[in-house]
Amino acid sequence: MGMDFSTLRTLISRYCAGEENWVDSRTIYIGHKEPPPGTEAFIQQRFPDNRIVSSKYTFWNFIPKNLFEQFRRVANFYFLIIFLVQLIIDTPTSPITSGLPLFFVITVTAIKQGYEDWLRHKADNAVNRCPVHVVQHGKIVRKQSRKLRVGDVVLVKEDESFPCDLVLLSTSRDDGTCYVTTASLDGESSHKTYYAVQDTKAYNTEKEVDAIHATIECEQPQPDLYKFVGRINVYMGNESVARPLGSENLLLRGATLKNTSYIYAVAIYSGMETKMALNYQSKSQKRSAVEKSMNAYLLVYLCILISKAIINTALKYVWQADPNRDEPWYNHRTETERQRHVLIRAFTDFLAFMVLFNYIIPVSMYVTVEMQKFLGSYFIMWDDEMMDEELGERAVVNTSDLNEELGQVEYVFTDKTGTLTENNMEFIECCVDGHVYVPQVICNGQVLPDAVGMDMIDTSPGPDAREREELFFRALCLCHTVQVKEEETVDGIKHGIHQGKSTSFYISSSPDEVALVEGMKRLGFTYLRLKDGQMEILNREDEIEKFELLEVLTFDSVRRRMSVIVKANTGELYLFCKGADSSIFPRVVSGKVDQIRARVEQNAVEGLRTLCVAYRHLSPEQYEEVCHLLSDAKLALQDRDRRLAEAYDLIEKDLILLGATAVEDRLQEKAADTIESLHKAGMKVWVLTGDKMETAAATCYASKLFRRSTQILELTTKRTEEQSLHDVLFDLSRTVLRQHGDMTRDTFSSFSGDCTDYGLIIDGATLSAVMRPNQDDLNSGNYKEIFLEICRNCSAVLCCRMAPLQKAQIVKLIKASKEHPITLAVGDGANDVSMILEAHVGIGIMGKEGRQAVRNSDYAVPKFKHLKKMLLVHGHYYYIRISELVQYFFYKNVCFIFPQFLYQFFCGFSQQPLYDTAYLTLYNISFTSLPILLYSLIEQHINMDILKKDPTLYRDISKNSLLRWPIFIYWTILGVYDAIVMFFGAYFLFDNTTFTSNGQLMTTNTQMMFGNWTFGTLVFTVLVFTVTFKLALDTHYWTWINHFVIWGSLIFFVVFSLLWGGIIWPFLNYQRMYYVFMQMLSSGPAWLSIILLITASLLPDVLKKVIWRSLWPTTTERIQSADKLYEGQLSEFTPLASLHGPPKARTSDPQRNGSNPRRTNWCCLCANLLSRNTP
């Protein structure tokens, strides 16, 4: 009964305690120890184990789950229905003809998906079996990670990763801190400081830690990496002390311990409840424009199929209306069939015709496309030009489903820091009271000897300013969160930090901070270390100065500043504050504001990152008040962040301005060249950054996003304060539309000289106003449309002061616009992940901000410059190849099945198949599949070097131009024409027949046995050769493997036909093809007929291409023709600009004996001959 009351008391106190009103919480007993009697009830909760599961299938559910997922695909489900119909009713073809291709497609796809899932299982097992050290009964016990339980006390050593989410109890450092990198979580490779619980930080051995008697109450797991609210109750005898727990006490799974020998911590979230697991975003399935076109074409062909079946069913009953034609004498229907209702008979016939014509739907196209995408993705990974020697990294393909989308990009959204720039900060200068200081030597984190001098750009400061100058240098040496590596091994020799001014190794969460501290070192003030709460710096006189670090007011992106409160040896208390100019200037009450502001603006225009530094003297009374404010805020369990922000706001005021700093983040190699190429290719490039406007704009000029002739339009907070947002938007709209009228910039090159080039700059605050307009303003509903109209008419857009979510909103806004353009997002940090996931194609840069962007992207490249080849070359090739693949598949299936449709008019609509079962089954699987698969993997219609040299060729394939309806209709009409030629050509060949003495029907003109299987085999032979030659004519890039596969597949067809009809197969009940193929080939006229029919089928397409290339060539076709003339050396010797106009006449060279043997196309050569003789 006592236990019941205790439980009730616990529940009441937990849920009804005012500020501590937690609706959903958990209690963890450290070391699984019960709390002392009378304190609270021991309610052991059940938590999941520490296994991580990223796999999709298990051994038991793989087959049913995979089959279910595959048959959700329309084409697969359709063929399953056809297969079942063939099994249920009497159909003209064997169920094998549909079942075997379907089985092949399903099996290949299942093997691919099973292999990928097996790799995921393998990775999961490697993680789950990783050893961890757990404290049990005062001893260290080794366990597998998956056996870890919530409440276990874990020992983690330096450079080890945390096995689950842990609350830090104690560390090897006396101050109870440890340093951690969270690169695998949030992409930040910098070191962060975490703090042990105040009451347990002194416990440093296994036995001491095992003696801790405490419970932790905290929120249930949630995915926010930066939020954690809890409290720890430490029991001392029968009394307990409660301490608040925050995100600074929580070590997350996947993070790594750095610069700390060991830590002890208790597990609070395990397995799939860890924040890392909760942040596994199940990426929404992205579908390419090509796949959408495929599905649309599939629906058209399904309608054609149904139409054919309905027409044939209707004509069958019209034919049979005449009693004399009811049915042949040898095929009397049974009485049961005669008595069946006419609608049932008609429906059965309709299904039979559906089965007969179902091959017009190319089921094998899907598996061919899957294989093409999977195998084709390796060309990106194998590309040596996309490998970075410095990083030792190659390009990575995380999904192969979007390869062709790389050739369709219209908008590129890129981050700035670490993507366009190197994220490698270099200290340039500092300005103190208007005097500018530039270090003699500075080199990206490398401390060089004899680099202590200063160069005064302006007039030297007077004696009175000397004190403020040194105060500024001290402020930068003290106001940071930089840690010092105690010693660093260089060439096997350990160099200590106290060896005069030798090398020191600084670590920080911000590259800017490291650059500033190293810059101060060049200027004579060296930060040494933080020890026992004392910050030590070495001044110009080589004297060590000590300051007691009292408080750190940490940096956050809302305040955009940080502060420290320190106490000098003299007893003076200082508040040093540094931050963005926009957050410091409003809080300054004195100092040379105008001079410093002018220097800051000048540096920002030059593209430098600027920070302002200020200070404030604190009296002991003021410090007491500060301590009280911070203490109250830190102990709050509810709204802790808000109360801390309010406290910081009250403390950081009445500041005295000291000066400003300038740090440079250099552009990546060839970033400007890449952006220029993307512009020429017709893509619009937007830069989305959290940086300030002036700095970002300078970077945009340096990277050639904006040119000097670009007219900059501003849509910023500064402007909307002067005018209403409504007026600003309409002013900008009138400005851009005055030049262009209703024509957007999509219709012409952004490099044309007869129009003004516009660039737009917008900031995060104004974007929020555009996206979320005031409901009271009736005119505000169309702000988004006006904003989009302005953007469409700008060649480049810069969005500054952007939050990560706003980046995704921008991408989503453009995606949803009426043109539905294809978007690509590229970034390197965790703050770019939402943008990368939102875009059609997401690309991660392997920069210094960890691997989160890379892991969440579809593709990853080492540097921004590799984007050029990925889009202009690989994307171009992928799109060309898969477009031909899709159109060719539909074409060859029309050629295949239309003769079957025509045949029904000559066999009384009796559903008699034209082709043998083996031919029906193997046509798409064997006879015609490999040539198109190989074409779609290695075809290069233009030399790779030319594609890189002339980005405008990318425009020829933009907006899904090769899969538009006119081209699709042309391919379909071509297929119908070829089918008519094949069928009626063979039909007229058999037109004159006579009986032989032994009763056989022979054709007079060919002396060949006449029968429906001979007729079908002749048509099928012409068909296989025609569609294969058609692909050969379309091939520009010939290699030995092309010859092997194309001619090899034809030889395979002939050999198979000879064997299939030349041997009596014991497993066949009847062999209707016996000796048919050999008897057909024994006739000379049949050979001539085959050649003539193939020529007649291919001739119109060849003539059309020759004429079109001669009279209306595209840029691509001009370059192909020129490449033949220059024997494949066009990329090295010819100015490509000359090829964009009409081709010039060339004098025929009698010495030429053909073009580059690797790059030959017959249509191209014919067109070339015509154009060479054009005046």
Which residue, among 750, 800, 954, 752, has the nearest Cα to 867 in the 3D structure? Answer: 954
Tokens 């003030």 sit on residue = 525
Which residue, among 1042, 894, 1081, 1066, has the nearest Cα to 977 in the 3D structure? Answer: 894
Q: Which residues of 2-30 are buried (b: 16+ CB within 10 A; e: fewer)?
A: eeeebeeebeeebeeeeeeebeeebbbbb
**Long-range CB contacts (< 8 A, 24+ apart) of 6-12?**
6/40, 6/41, 7/41, 7/43, 9/40, 9/41, 10/40, 10/41, 10/43
Spatial distance between the Cα atoms of 690 and 681, rounded to a whole number of angstroms: 27
Computed from CA positions of residues 673, 679, 681, 683, in that sequence, does the dihedral angle turn out positive or negative? positive
Which residue, among 696, 694, 674, 693, has the nearest Cα to 685 in the 3D structure? Answer: 674
| DSSP letter, residue 703 | T
Q: CA angle at residue 17 from 16 to 22, to 5 degrees? A: 75
Q: How far is CA 681 from CA 179, 186, 370, 419, 765, in A?
A: 46, 34, 28, 20, 32
Spatial distance between the Cα atoms of 924 and 104, rounded to a whole number of angstroms: 11
Which residue, among 554, 549, 546, 578, has the nearest Cα to 565 in the 3D structure? Answer: 549
Q: How far is CA 831 from CA 235, 338, 761, 835, 839, in A?
A: 41, 73, 20, 8, 14
- Report the interhelical angle of 965-989 vs 1084-1111 (nearest 10°): 150
Which residue, among 971, 1085, 1116, 1115, has the nearest Cα to 1031 in the 3D structure? Answer: 971
- Report the interhelical angle of 876-903 vs 342-357 (nearest 10°): 140
Question: Pick the catalytic residue: 152, 186, 210, 415?
Answer: 415
Classify 1175 as helix, strand or coil: coil
Active site residue 415: yes
Residue 147: phi and psi, rounded to 5, are: -90, 0
Do 1078 and 1058 touch, CB atoms closer than 8 A? Answer: yes
Q: In sequence order, which residues have a C-beta less than 8 Å from that of residue 40 and are 6 or more positions away? A: 6, 9, 10, 215
Question: What six digits make up the tokens of 1092?
Answer: 């003539």
Spatial distance between the Cα atoms of 797 and 795, rounded to a whole number of angstroms: 7
- One-letter identity of residue 48: P
Which residue, among 414, 378, 376, has the nearest Cα to 395 in the 3D structure? Answer: 378
Spatial distance between the Cα atoms of 1077 and 1063, rounded to a whole number of angstroms: 12
Do 87 and 113 touch, CB atoms closer than 8 A? Answer: no
Catalytic residue IDs: 415
